[in-house]
Structure 1
Amino acid sequence: MPHRSEKRRMEESERESASAGRKSGQQRVLLVTGVSGAGKSTALDVLEDLGWETIDNFPVRLLKRLLSRPDGEHGNLAIGFDSRTRGFVPAKIIDIVKDLSRQEDLLVSTLFIDCSSGELERRYNETRRRHPMAQGSPVQEGIRAERELMEPLRRWADMVVDTTDFSTNDLQQHIRELFAAEADQPMTVTVSSFGFARGMPPLADLVFDMRFLDNPHWVDELREQTGLDPAVGEHIEKDAGFAPAFSQIRDLLDTLLPRYQAQGKSYVHIAFGCTGGRHRSVFTAERMAQALRHAGFSPTVRHRNLGSRATDAVEGMKR
Structure 2
Amino acid sequence: MPSDQTSEPKRVHRDDVRVVIVTGMSGAGRRTAAHALEDLGWYVVDNLPPVMLPSLHSLVRSKDMTRLATVLDVRSRTLFEELPGVFAELEAAGTTPEILFIEASDDVIVARQESSRRPHPLQGDGRLLDGVRRERELLATLRAAADLVIDTSRMNVHQLAARVSHAYGGDTSDRLRVTLMSFGFKNGLPVDADMVIDVRFLPNPHWVPELRPHTGLTRPVSEYVLRQPAAGPFLGQLETLLDTVAEGYLTEGKRFATIAIGCTGGKHRSTAMAEELGRRLRETGVPTKVMHRDVGKE
Assess, with a 3 A threshold, how the Cα gap between structure 1 residues 218 and 139 changes in structure 2: closer, same or farther: same
Assess, with a 3 A threshold, how the Cα gap between structure 1 residues 135 and 77 changes in structure 2: closer, same or farther: same
Q: Identity over the aligned pairs, expressed in percent?
A: 32
Residue equivalent to 1:218: 207
Residue equivalent to 1:75: 66
Residue equivalent to 1:282: 271
Residue equivalent to 1:191: 180
CA distance in 2, matches of 1:212, 1:35: 36
- List aligned pairs for 1:1-319, cutoff 5 A: 20-23=12-15, 32-33=22-23, 36-45=26-35, 47-48=37-38, 51-57=41-47, 69=59, 71-82=62-73, 90=78, 94=82, 101=89, 119-120=105-106, 123-125=109-111, 127-128=113-114, 129=116, 130-133=118-121, 134=123, 138-140=127-129, 142-143=131-132, 147=135, 160-161=145-146, 166-167=151-152, 184-236=173-225, 242=228, 244-263=229-248, 265=250, 266-309=255-298
Assess, with a 3 A threshold, how the Cα gap between structure 1 residues 182 and 199 changes in structure 2: closer, same or farther: farther
Assess, with a 3 A threshold, how the Cα gap between structure 1 residues 67 and 267 changes in structure 2: closer, same or farther: closer
Gaps of 5+ in 2: none
Assess, with a 3 A threshold, how the Cα gap between structure 1 residues 267 and 36 changes in structure 2: closer, same or farther: closer
CA distance in 2, matches of 1:20, 1:141: 39
Gaps of 5+ in 1: 1-9, 310-319
Does the residue aligned with 2:70 lie in a helix, a strand or coil?
Answer: strand
| Number of corresponding residues | 280
Q: Which of these two proteins has the greater Rg computed from alpha carbons?
A: 1
Q: Is the 8 A contact 2:100 2:149 kept in 1?
A: no
The offset of 1:277, in angstroms, is: 0.8
Does the residue aligned with 1:221 lie in a helix, a strand or coil?
Answer: coil
Cα RMSD for the two superposed structures: 5.2
The offset of 1:136, in angstroms, is: 7.5
Which amino acid is 1:52 matched to? W
CA distance in 1, matches of 2:40, 2:235: 30
Q: Is the 8 A contact 1:38 1:113 kept in 2?
A: no
Which amino acid is 1:258 matched to? D
